[in-house]
Amino acid sequence: MLSLILSLLIVNANLNAGTTGFNFLKIIPSAKEAAMANATIGLENTTSLSGFGFWFNPAASVARPAFGMSYLNYLAGISYGSVGYTKQAPLSFLKAGGIGVSFLNSGVIKRTDINGSELGTFSVSYLDLDAAGNVALMNEKLHAGMAVKVIYGSIDSFMGLGVATDLGLRFKPDIQGLTIGAVVRNLGYQVKTFDAVRDRLPVDIGIGLGYSISNNVNLALDIHKPIDNTILFNLGVEAWVNKYVALRGGYNSLGKDYKTGGTTDITSGFSLGLGVKYSRYQVDYSFTPMGDLGRLHHITVFFGL
């Protein structure tokens, strides 16, 4: 049963896929980053509002305090939502920080026996609580950050609990507009298992480059290695056509694993999005085709504080 749910959450053709637990942590929590194909490790939030930057790299910069709410209509009727808040110097010894929560629910799933006879229903849900902060070093050229997270899962009558940390660096060399980032995500331990088997958490190690052109065009490239997959890369671009509207797009090499031989395979891995900002408010939308598996629609609303 658990392997079935994991396959619904993260569809993946790699032989190691499904060998980690709490795979919902791989889902992108906000529409802007989803539109840019999750190329986020070195991405600077110079123009956009963001309440979710620490989710991708706890050393993320914060241009302006913001609160965000996000909703994703995921595959197989699964719903995913998140809420995040970021602020400069939330504590005297920190440069910036953030808190957030993400929640996934499967809805009602039919329970069947080996003959296909229905035996009632059950549901699956996951919860992730995050708190992050970073400090500035080397005359603010280098930021070092850390996030701690508590992860809860419920599958029918079974419950799992995990704790983890994300570690991140963000460096600004003497090249105008360039940012270099590095991150280790989901480094932790499953404290309470769903059954007798203790799952590994979906650890992911990555490096990324971000380049801003006059604050109107942002380019990003990530290379990362999940413990349950091969080396992957993400490319993303954000272009503000004026002070109100941004166009976004990206490519994620994980898209090759969404191909099923259907006519829509050519779109797998690509993503598109739109951002609209006015005064203290911003709405982001992303569209991610996953071949014949389906299409993801993601919307995020931000409030600048």
How confident is the model at residue 173, as a pLDDT?
A: 95
For residues 156 and 80, the model is more confident at 80
Q: What ranges make up the beta strands (E) of 74-141?
A: 79-88, 96-105, 109-112, 118-122, 124-137
How confident is the model at residue 13, as a pLDDT?
A: 46
pLDDT at 6 over 50: no
Report the distance separating Cα 250 and Cα 235, nearest Å.
5
How confident is the model at residue 19, as a pLDDT?
A: 73
For residues 265 and 11, the model is more confident at 265
How confident is the model at residue 303, as a pLDDT?
A: 93
Residue of 34, 27, 44, 96 lying closest to 65 (CA atoms): 96
Quote the tokens at residue 274: 């739109």
- Spatial neighbors of 39 by CB under 8 A, at least 6 apart, are 33, 208, 220, 221, 222, 234, 235, 236, 250
How confident is the model at residue 119, as a pLDDT?
A: 83
How confident is the model at residue 105, as a pLDDT?
A: 94
- Spatial neighbors of 209 by CB under 8 A, at least 6 apart, are 42, 178, 179, 180, 181, 220, 221, 222
Q: Which H or E element spans position 186?
A: strand 178-192
Mean pLDDT value of segment 65-80: 90
Report the distance separating Cα 284 and Cα 279, nearest Å.
15
- The distance of Cα 187 from the centroid of its chain, to the nearest Å, equals 15
pLDDT at 10 over 50: no
Contact 57, 41 (CB under 8 A): yes
For residues 206 and 293, the model is more confident at 206
Q: What CATH number does residue 51 fall under? A: 2.40.160.40
- Spatial neighbors of 289 by CB under 8 A, at least 6 apart, are 264, 267, 268, 270, 271, 295, 296
pLDDT tens digits, one per residue of 180-196: 999 999 999 999 999 88
Mean pLDDT value of segment 44-52: 75
How confident is the model at residue 16, as a pLDDT?
A: 57
How confident is the model at residue 50, as a pLDDT?
A: 78
The residue assigned the tokens 């709405």 is 283
The residue assigned the tokens 């190691």 is 16
Q: How many domains are contained in the chain?
A: 1
- The distance of Cα 104 from the centroid of its chain, to the nearest Å, equals 13
Mean pLDDT value of segment 268-297: 91
Q: Rounded to 5 degrees, what angle do the CA atoms 116, 119, 120 make?
A: 125
Contact 138, 157 (CB under 8 A): no
The domain containing residue 268 runs over which residues? Answer: 2-304
Contact 191, 198 (CB under 8 A): no
Report the distance separating Cα 283 and Cα 301, nearest Å.
5
pLDDT at 101 over 60: yes
- Spatial neighbors of 168 by CB under 8 A, at least 6 apart, are 41, 57, 58, 59, 60, 134, 144, 145, 146, 147, 181, 182, 183, 184
pLDDT at 147 over 80: yes
Confidence band of 264 (pLDDT split at 50, 70, 90): low
Q: Rounded to 5 degrees, what angle do the CA atoms 168, 10, 53 make?
A: 30
Task: Give the global pTM.
Answer: 0.88
Portion of the chain with pLDDT greater than 70, in percent:
91
